[in-house]
Amino acid sequence: MTYDLIIGDYAYSSWSLRGWLLFEKFNIPRKVTLLDFDSKASVAEQLATHAPARTVPTIRTPDGAIISESYAIAEDLADRHPDAGIWPSTPKHRSIARSLAAEMHSGFAALRSVCPMNLRTAFDWATPSPDVLADLIRIETLWDWARDACGTGEGDWLCGDYSAADAMYAPVAMRIAGYNLPVSDAARAYVDLHLNDLALRRWRAMGLVHGAHLSRYDQPHPERPWPGPAVLEATVSDAVPVNAQCPYSGKPSTHMLELEGTVYGFCNAFCRDKTLADPDAWPAFTDLRARQQKSQVVNG
């Protein structure tokens, strides 16, 4: 059972991130198609073959249904994959998660419009507007309420295990981190949880190496380093790799990188470059590295 998932730009499309996380975090098979945010054709025009959809993310289900709202996608996937854990299993926690997700889907207009998601650049906005500050207060109120009602602590997902509510708030966390917005320690711990989440790190890594820079997302605020975890430094290489097949596709290695003195191969530039952007984010690559390091120890 494989879905068609149509998304926008990795670096800038916050709603696409939500839809992609619903598939990635819950291991639901999908075939991904990216629209071009730098195209003269509008998103709606690019979605002509998926009418009546006009926004991303959009999915086509295995039985042909077209769904193009993130909350509706979450509910539909939960119906079709009841054991995936998309919503909490406890009825009370599930109700809270749905309430959080619904308010995210319809609210926080100031934060969403004034602070567009940009995973390529972090800013330091010293004096957020009153409307943005009001949105942040409401967000913290909701997060505190969820943690209290569900018995979760600082540094935990909102309603226990990762759920659709956390997928919905991932771009909010990226805005708070990306603009250095003022929040409480408890809210900052939740933001840090997203920053360290391997799935979100994979999404950001792809955003760093795929797609054009879109000047409409530039900001007048001073730039600062990305606040996520430190990234291992790797470089492009033309040397012979230790692996003959790409760790992702199994196809022959044709594009290489060097990390910590070892050369690894990939089947194309994108596989290599997304790994360069954050080597620790990719389980298949970290498994390859672990096997190689073990082999080097065994062979002395």
In order of start, what are the domains of the chain with their CATH numbers? 3-80 (3.40.30.10), 91-202 (1.20.1050), 234-298 (no CATH)
Strand, helix or coil at 89?
coil
- On whether the CB atoms of residues 5 and 17 are closer than 8 A, the answer is no
Tokens of 200: 């979100």
Label residue 107 exposed, middle or buried (CB < 10 Å: 0-12, 13-18, 19+): middle
One digit per residue, the tens of pLDDT, for the chain of length 300 reads 799 999 999 999 999 999 999 999 999 999 999 999 999 999 999 999 999 999 999 999 999 999 999 999 999 999 999 999 999 999 999 999 999 999 999 999 999 999 999 999 999 999 999 999 999 999 999 999 999 999 998 779 999 999 999 999 999 999 999 999 999 999 999 999 999 999 999 999 999 999 999 999 999 999 999 999 999 999 999 999 999 999 999 999 999 999 999 999 999 999 999 999 999 999 999 999 999 999 877 775
Distance CA 186, CA 192 (A): 10
pTM beyond 0.75: yes
Q: Which residues pair with 223 in a beta bridge?
A: 123
User: For 42-60, b where at least 16 C-beta lie within 10 A, e where not — what string?
Assistant: ebeebbeebeebebbbbbb
Q: What single string gives the DSSP state of each residue in 237-248?
A: E-SPPS-SB-TT
